[in-house]
Amino acid sequence: MTLGQGTESSLIVDIVFWVIAISSIVAALAVVQVRDLFRSAIFLIVSFMGVAGMFVLLRAEFLAIVQVLIYVGAISVLVLFAIMMTRDVGEGNPSNRLRIPAAIAAALFGAVAISVAVTTNWNTIEAAIASSAISAEAGERIGEVFSNSVPWIARLLLRDFVLAFEVSSVVLLAAIIGALALVRER
C-alpha cells in the first residue's frame, strides 16, 4: 500500500506518530529543563527532527526537508556555534523568579490549545464533497495539490510570489554577512 491509499489509519502509522510525538515533547521539555547549554541545544535538534517527522506523516515532504535544512542544519548549527563561543558553557542559566508564572502560563496555553483542537469541527475534503460544499471537480483539484505539493509550492514561489522569495533571500544574505562581521577577528 502507498501512503495516499488509506495507510494513514494503519497501526504502524499510529505507532510512528506516538513515538515521534512523545520524543518531540520530551525533547522540548529537556531543552528548557537541562542546565547544560550544549545538551539543551542537542535536545533542540531532536525536537526539530520530531517536527520534521510530523510533516512527513502529514505528507508535507517539502516542509519536512525545509525543516531539516533550515532549522536542524542552519539554526541549530548557529546555536551550537554560539554556545561553543561562550566561556562558561557548563554553568548554564540560573533559575529566576518567573519560572512558576511561566509554567502556569504554558499550562493554560496548552489547555486552551487542546480544548480548541478537541472542540473544532475538522472538515475533510470527502465530507465537503458529500455535503455539496464544494464540487467533486474542486475536490479532485485539491486532492491533486495535496498529493503532489512540491511542484505547486515551486510554482507559487517562483511565479506568483517571486518578489517575497527574493526578499527573503536578501534578508538571509544580510544575516550571513552580519554573522561574519561579528565573528571576524579585529
The reply to whether 52 falls in a domain is: yes
pLDDT for residue 178 is more than 90: no
For 154-179, give one letter per residue: b (16+ CB within 10 A) or e.
eeeeeeeeeeeeeeeeeeeeeeeeee
The reply to whether 36 falls in a domain is: yes
pLDDT value for 3: 46
The reply to whether 64 falls in a domain is: yes
**What's the rounded Cα separation, in Å, for the pair 68 and 52?**
7
The reply to whether 138 falls in a domain is: no
Q: What average pLDDT does this structure show over 3-27?
A: 82
**What is the CATH number for 23?**
1.20.120.1200
Domains of the chain: total:
1
The reply to whether 71 falls in a domain is: yes
Domain coverage including residue 61: 10-87
pLDDT class for 1, splitting at 50, 70, 90?
Answer: very low
Q: What angle do CA 167, 169, 174 make, to 5 degrees?
A: 95
pLDDT value for 2: 47
pLDDT value for 5: 53
pLDDT value for 26: 95
Side-chain-side CA neighbours of 35 within 13 Å: the count stands at 8
Give the closest residue to 21 by CA, choosing from 10, 9, 33, 29: 29
pLDDT value for 19: 95
**What's the rounded Cα separation, in Å, for the pair 5 and 12?**
14
